[in-house]
Amino acid sequence: MPNMFDKKTLLLDLDGTLLMSRWPGFAICFSLYFVFKAFRYASPYSSFRTFISLRDSLLKNHGGQSNAVMIAQFIASEWDVSEQEARRFYDEVCYEVFHRFSFFFKPADHLDEFLSWVSKHYKLVLATNPVWPKKVAELRVSWLSRSYDFFDFISHGENMTTTKPSVAYYQEILKQTHMEASDALMVGDDIVKDTPATELGIPVFLIGSSMSPLACTVSNLKDLKGVLAHDT
């Protein structure tokens, strides 16, 4: 088990860790809504192709411009619109989708107890994949029954230039928060997206049933609180 002593900061993933989601259903609704709202810019086929290709375009961002700028530039080039218009479109669609389809998400079991306890013992970084605008991050944090400034730092599309599962994402988190890897502990649920933090020497806990030699697995947030409380 990773050494928990002297850890000062928890990096907390959001989806699958603090928020439970029915992601396949949400992804279908997102894609359909994206295509529907894009009718004035592109054909359904073209807009769906753009939607599918967005992920690959973000993975090519290696620390240059923010993810939000990269997304806007990609959409603008695909649809022959201005970058400003593309940015407005993406920001609005993302917020509307998460607002309309919030029923796909619910707080994880024992969430309030866990957050109340860890906030007294650690600095908290919401290390969610930074592909959504800040306004969406604010909305989703409200689903945790917390304010945006409850966390010391939240990664989102406007303040990050990398994404998971790149190790560079975790390097950027450390740089932006002026933190050493030896001071951090990552809590997530996804082997592919969350365990790359170990390459920087950041121990990782996985919530749920995923098993990896690179991480420790606990069943839920209550069990994780018990482990952390034992070491504090």
The domain defined by 9-18+108-129+164-231 carries CATH number 3.90.550.10: no
Q: How far apart are CA 222 and CA 114, in angstroms?
A: 6
pLDDT over 70 (residue 91): yes
Mean pLDDT of 132-155: 98
Instruction: Please give the distance of CA 169 from its chain centroid, rounded to a whole number.
Output: 11
pLDDT over 50 (residue 115): yes
Q: What is the mean pLDDT of the chain?
A: 94
Predicted confidence band at 4 (pLDDT cuts at 50, 70, 90)?
low
Q: What is the pLDDT of residue 57?
A: 80
**Before 165, cis peptide (omega within 30)?**
yes
Q: What is the pLDDT of residue 5?
A: 53
133: helix, coil or strand? coil
pLDDT over 80 (residue 142): yes
Token digits of residue 134: 């800040």
Segment 15-28, tens digit of pLDDT: 999 999 999 999 99
* Residue 110: CA count within 13 A, CB half-sphere: 13
- Which residues, 6 or more positions from 128, have their beta carbon under 8 angstroms from its beta carbon? 13, 14, 15, 137, 140, 154, 155, 156
Segment 194-222, tens digit of pLDDT: 999 999 999 999 999 778 888 999 999 99
Q: What is the pLDDT of residue 94?
A: 98
Strands (DSSP E) found in 182-225 = 184-188, 204-207, 216-218
Segment 150-205, tens digit of pLDDT: 999 999 999 999 999 999 999 999 999 999 999 999 999 999 999 999 999 999 99
Dihedral of the alpha carbons of 222, 223, 225, 230, in degrees to the nearest 10: 150
- Identify the H or E element spanning 89: helix 83-100
Predicted confidence band at 230 (pLDDT cuts at 50, 70, 90)?
confident
Map out the domains of the chain as residue ranges: 9-18+108-129+164-231, 23-102
Phi-psi category of residue 160: left, alpha or beta, with phi > 0 → left and psi -120 to 50 → alpha: beta
Q: What is the DSSP code (8-state) at residue 108?
A: P
**pTM of the entire predicted model:** 0.93
